[in-house]
Amino acid sequence: MTEIYPIGGGKGGVGKSFLAANLGALIAKQGHNVVVIDLDLGASNLHTLLGVKRPKRGLNRYLDKTVRGLESVAVPTMIPGLFFISSLHCSMEIANLLHAHKLKIITAIQKLPFDYILLDLGTGTNFNTLDFFLTSKESILIGTPEPTSIENFFRFINAVYFRILKQTLKRSEFHSAVKDAVTEMSGATAGTHDILKIVSKYQPDKKTYLKNKLSEFKFKLILNQFRKNMDSTLGNKIETVCNRHFHSDFQFVGNIRYDEQIHDAVFSKTLYIHKYPHTQSSNDLKKIAEKITRNQRPTSLPKEIS
């Protein structure tokens, strides 16, 4: 069965792309067939972190119908079993992505023939980024231990919730008064609580339905750029707060230590875990990869995709 993990977190520079590249490589090294997809349209740089030269084919060839299947634009990487789909040559920024193109990409991702699919998302809470994040009900949220990053973490979850609820409310069984009130709201100022309050007023019987919708989602939390002197229980504390405050399942899966050698790997355009396989940060990543795959044995031998 395919597992899709969008990687989000709101803030820029926290390590979304770094995680997508290295986690993808480590899951492939376990023997799984993996693809990482760069969905940071307009700011694609995942190829550099993967140590792949500027790929000639990518998402653009699929959108302009040069190829029929999305899997045809997956290129191999230096790690056997790890493939990559680039968005380097897509001419649009994420905010300008056509609705039809977005749906086409999401539907195609859900049909890709891989064991694991990792989606590297852009920064911020643009609704297109949120829709890519909602490609799957299981996702990864990454941030750093800095208060500004944690604030963005919560802001991102709020924005995801707002998007899920808004999409659910579009369905016909909701009262027009509820739909109208929520259409007027903005995700930046209103939250889940405000939507549920309106639903309680007009259709109290639907409140549990909405809460159940939110409870279908699972978030795995990661703290990156972790330094020695920091509170190592912070991730567990955030997990507790999230599980208390939100309606989904939140699981903290580990810290990744700060390492200067990561900058060095980026400068030399090499995959970090390939260049530095035995550092503390590589071990942290390995433990996270094991938690994510739950040490599952590969269901199939890696397939060759040309």
Ligand X SMILES: Nc1ncnc2c1ncn2[C@@H]1O[C@H](COP(=O)(O)OP(=O)(O)O)[C@@H](O)[C@H]1O
Q: Based on the shown chain and the rule CB under 5 A, indicate whether residue 225 belongs to the binding site for Mg ion.
A: no
Smallest distance, Å, CB 261 to ligand X? 8
Q: Are 250 and 243 in contact (CB under 8 A)?
A: yes
Q: Which of 6, 10, 15, 17 binds Mg ion (CB under 5 A)?
A: 17
The site partner of 266 among Mg ion, ligand X, none (C-beta below 5 to 8 Å per kind) is ligand X
Q: Based on the shown chain and the rule CB under 6 A, indicate whether residue 224 belongs to the binding site for ligand X.
A: yes
Burial class (CB in 10 A: 0-12, 13-18, 19+), 213: middle
Q: Which of 5, 6, 8, 17 binds ligand X (CB under 6 A)?
A: 17
Q: Based on the shown chain and the rule CB under 6 A, indicate whether residue 12 belongs to the binding site for ligand X.
A: yes
Q: Are 51 and 63 in contact (CB under 8 A)?
A: no
Q: Which stretch binds ligand X (CB under 6 A): 13-21, 93-101, 203-211, 244-252?
A: 13-21
DSSP strand pairing (75-76 vs 82-85): antiparallel
77-99 b/e (C-beta count within 10 Å ≥ 16 → b)? bebebbbbbbbbebeeebeebee
User: What DSSP character marks residue 13?
Assistant: T
Q: For residues 17 and 30, which CB has a smaller minimum distance to Mg ion in the complex? A: 17
Smallest distance, Å, CB 259 to ligand X? 5
How many residues sit close enough to ligand X to count as binding (CB under 6 A)? 17
**Edge-to-edge strand ranges of the sheet holding 34-38:** 75-76, 82-85, 34-38, 116-120, 3-8, 138-143, 218-226, 249-257
Residues within window 267-286 making contact with ligand X, judged by CB under 6 A: 281
Where do contacts with Mg ion occur on this chain (CB under 5 A)? 16-17
Contact positions vs ligand X (CB under 6 A): 12-18, 123, 224-225, 256, 258-259, 262-263, 266, 281
